[in-house]
Amino acid sequence: MKKFVNNPDNFVPDFMAGVAAANPDLLEYVPEFQMMTRKDIGSGKVSIVQGSGSGHEPAHVMAVGPGMLTGACQGPVFAAPPVDACYETIKACNSDAGVLVLVNNYQGDRMAWDMATEMAQAEGINVRQFWINDDVAVEDSLYTVGRRGVAGNFFVIKCCGAAAEQGANLDEVEAIAEKVNKNVRTMGVALTSCIPPAKGTPIFDIGDDEMEVGVGIHGEPGRRREKIKSGNEIVDELFEAVRSDLPFEKGDRVALMVNGLGGTPITELYLMYARAAELAEKAGLTVARNYVGEYCTSLEMAGASITMLELDDQLEKLLDAPAKVAARIF
Amino acid sequence: MSVITQEMIEKALQTTADTVIRNEHYFSDLDGLAGDGDFGTSLASGFKAMNREWDEIDKSSIGAMMLKISMICSKHVGGSSGPIWGTGFMKAAMPTRGKTEITLAEAAELLQSAIDGIMARGGAKRGDKTLLDALFPVHEAMSEHAEAGDTAAALKDAATAADAAVDETRALRAGRGRASQVGERSTNTPDPGIVAIATILQDWCKAFGVESHPTAEEVKKAIA
């Protein structure tokens, strides 16, 4: 596999420099902590912070900007950022109105953000954490750290970022995070493995005729490995896993997302969306907002995930609020 | 050997760095079997930073040195390994503050403090198939030798115990970390944290001239 890489160790700072260079009016990049913040951190507004492993772009660093994240720090590819970077990001984004850290639920991120949050709180910063866990693929039990946070992350950031921009207080923004997370579900499938630049080889082996159903965004195994099926059959399986989990029921208004995992062309994502929309209609759901593209990826992994969020008037308005981030098509 | 001097601990740390950096990709490959494949590179980035900053590290006491290494982990090690190893070194610094040599009993106390800190940080316990499953038997081996104070014998038994932990835990289902999320599919794979601890101890044996013969396949592959 060929990649555009200089020194694999510098892969993350190198791409972040590009994100900063392409958005000179919007973003401030601090290489020492692999941290990106808005240039206009507004006083009096709640700050929304995120930080996690790299390799999921546009999450998390390309989600920084007005109406979305206040700041983000990046770890190495697929690994939580160092504690130090998390702590410095909270400090850089500190606001009189408080800071809400939104993090996808993984063990490494939990520990790093726990330590960083404790350190920031000891300094008198008003910071809280919220854990996103929308992936239905893995069982949730006391035995594990719980479900993973995947593409549903986008909806939590979008709604919290909009609310913060509109002047909601920390309690209100946190309540929105809870509402979105409670009502959003995702499941993914992988056709190929990704190749982390520092590793240089696929992270798992999968046959040409196989797919991993319920894959994680770091290539973690999902529910099972099976022979590849037609696009529609795959969507049927993912959609039903997502629909039945909340469950989404007849009459619900939903946002429907088909998210690419990095290595699947947009044509195939729209092919999948066509089937997903058909299934939603058959289930009596009203698709009020739709999203097709890359929101949370796994480097160049061929694959996709389906996310559904149950909507109400408040969430619809927050989804529609303007935002300006590095990930854009116009 | 009856006491453990600061020089010996420095040599052990440098040996650890060699072990970890040499096995950077191998430990990540092991992690990739059930986890996310970043363990080796994460840990290596910390020990590479330790090597770079080695001359500036405060070595006025064992505790001062451990605390500085903890801070290096917080700054340079991403993933789960940063908080785990960072917390471990920080807690190890506490009972060794101001000391430039320790007894075997004090070394066991240092390790107990690190184990308690790691358990509190990550919520893991013995049997969750994490590096704790290597650290517990290592602590037991050290404690058994504490009274007699034969450091070489303690190291040999500790290395043997950690090596045995690789195979003893192979069939377990992971209870913490990313491997825990794959449930039953984390069984019949070695835990990379346990393999790392076992390999480090084997390399310590070699560095200190203690004869040891590991049996776990992964450790045999990883030793110098």
B198 CB burial (10 A radius; 0-12, 13-18, 19+): buried
Q: What count of residues does chain B have?
A: 224
Whether the CB-CB separation of A15 and A299 falls below 8 Å is answered with no
Measured between beta carbons, which residues in chain B are less than 8 angstroms from residue A112?
78, 82-83
pLDDT at A158 over 50: yes
Q: How far apart are CA A103 and CA A86, in angstroms?
A: 11
Closest-CA residue in chain A for B33?
A204
* Bigger pLDDT: B184 vs A141: B184
Please give the full DSSP string across B103-162, using - where no structure is assigned.
EHHHHHHHHHHHHHHHHHHH---TTSSSTHHHHHHHHHHHHHHHTTT-HHHHHHHHHHHH
Nearest to B115 by CA among B93, B139, B97, B95: B139
pLDDT category of residue A330 using cuts at 50, 70 and 90? confident
Q: What is the CA radius of gyration of chain B?
A: 16
- Between strands A47-54 and A71-77, the pairing is parallel
Q: What is the mean pLDDT of residues A280-304?
A: 97
Cα nearest neighbour of A138 on chain B = B181
pLDDT value at position B167?
A: 95
Q: Regarding beta strands A210-213 and A224-227, do their DSSP bridges make them parallel or antiparallel, or are they unpaired?
A: antiparallel
Kindly state whether B180 is in contact with chain A, defined as any CB-CB distance less than 8 angstroms: yes
**Rounded Cα gap, residues B133 and A233, in angstroms:** 43
Average pLDDT of chain B? 93
Distance from CA of B154 to the nearest CA of A (A): 32
Q: Do B183 and A219 touch (CB under 8 A)?
A: no
Distance, in angstroms, between A101 CA and closest chain B CA? Answer: 17
Contact A203 B32 (CB under 8 A): yes
**% pLDDT > 70, chain A:** 98
Q: Which amino acid is at A15?
A: F
| ipTM for the whole complex | 0.77
Q: Which two tokens stand for residue A150?
A: 């995947």
Determine the average pLDDT of the residues in A233-253.
Answer: 97
User: Chain B contact for A216, CB < 8 A?
Assistant: yes
CB A34 within 8 A of CB A60: no
Q: What is the pLDDT of residue B218?
A: 96
d(Cα B64, Cα B66) in Å, to the nearest integer? Answer: 6
Strand-pair category, A184-190 with A210-213: antiparallel
Name residue B157's amino acid.
D
CB contact under 8 A, A199 and B181: no
Under DSSP, the state recorded for A25 is: T
When pLDDT is cut at 50, 70 and 90, the band that residue B175 belongs to is: confident
Q: How far is Cα B159 from Cα B151, in angstroms, rounded to an integer? A: 12
What does DSSP assign to residue A149?
P
The CA-based angle B43-B47-B49, given to 5 degrees, is 115
Write out pLDDT tens, residues A189-199.
999 999 988 77
Whether residue A317 contacts residue A56, with contact meaning beta carbons closer than 8 Å, is answered with: no
Query: Is residue A183 over pLDDT 90?
Result: yes
Residue A3 carries which side chain, given as an amino acid letter? K
Residue A240 has pLDDT above 80, yes or no: yes
The helix (run of H) or strand (run of E) holding residue A243 is helix A231-245
Q: Above 60 in pLDDT, residue B75?
A: yes
Q: How far apart are CA A247 and CA A249, in angstroms?
A: 6
Q: Are A69 and A161 in contact (CB under 8 A)?
A: yes
Question: Are A203 and B37 inside 8 Å of each other by CB?
Answer: yes
Residue with the two structure tokens 């044509």:
A267
CB pairs under 8 A between A and B: 120
Local confidence band at B183 (pLDDT 50, 70, 90 cut-offs): low
Identify the CA nearest to B43 among candidates B164, B168, B165, B131.
Answer: B131
Partner A contacted by B86 (CB < 8 A): yes
Q: Is A328 in the B-facing interface, judged by CB distances under 8 Å?
A: no
- pLDDT band for B120, please (50, 70, 90 cuts): very high
The answer for A 137-156 residues in CB contact with B (under 8 A) is 138-139, 143-145, 148
Query: Which of these, B52, B79, B30, lies nearest to B199 by C-alpha position?
Result: B30
Provide the residue type at A158 as one letter.
K
Out of B82, B183, B185, the one facing A82 most closely (by C-beta) is: B82
Rounded CA gap, A5 and A17, in Å?
14
Local structure of residue B1 (DSSP, 8 states): -
CA–CA separation, A137 vs A142, rounded Å? 16
pLDDT at residue A144 tops 60: no
Q: Which residues of A are catalytic?
A: 56, 218
Contact A115 B77 (CB under 8 A): no
Q: Which of residues 35-74 of B touch A (CB under 8 A)?
A: 35-38, 41-42, 45, 73-74
Mean pLDDT confidence for B98-104: 96
Contact residues on chain B for A204, CB-CB shorter than 8 A: 32
Q: For A188, left (φ over 0), alpha (ψ -120 to 50), or beta?
A: beta
Of A111, A114, A198, the CB nearest to B41: A198
pLDDT tens column, A76-113 = 998 899 999 999 999 999 999 999 999 999 888 999 99
Contacts of A199 in chain B (CB under 8 A): 25, 28, 32, 37, 41
pLDDT at B193: 95
Instruction: Look up tokens 């913060």; give the residue.
Output: A164
- Answer yes or no: do B178 and A77 touch at CB < 8 A: no
Distance in Å from the first CA to the final CA of chain B:
23
For residue B81, the chain A residue with the least C-alpha distance is A108
Q: Which among A112, A216, A222 has the least Cβ separation from residue B83?
A: A112
Burial string for B138-166 (b: 16+ CB within 10 Å, else e) reads bbebbbbbbeeeebebbbbbbbbbbbbbb
Of A168, A98, A99, A161, the closest CA to residue A322 belongs to: A161
Mean pLDDT of A177-188: 98
Categorize the per-residue pLDDT at A142 as very low, low, confident or very high, splitting at 50, 70 and 90. very low
Q: Which residues of B touch A84 (CB under 8 A)?
A: 74-75
- Rounded Cα distance between A181 and B139, Å, is 42
Q: Is pLDDT at B179 greater than 80 in this prediction?
A: no
Give yes or no for a contact between B195 and B216, defined as CB atoms under 8 angstroms apart: yes
Average pLDDT over residues A16-27: 96
In angstroms, the Cα distances linking A312 to A70, A169, A182, A287 are 25, 20, 13, 12
pLDDT-derived band of residue A29, with 50, 70 and 90 as boundaries?
very high
B172: its two tokens:
């377990």
Out of B35, B84, B176, name the one closest to residue A145 (CB). B176
Nearest residue, CB atoms, B74 vs list A53, A82, A219? A82
Residues B10-47 have pLDDT tens digits of 999 999 999 999 999 999 889 877 766 788 988 999 99
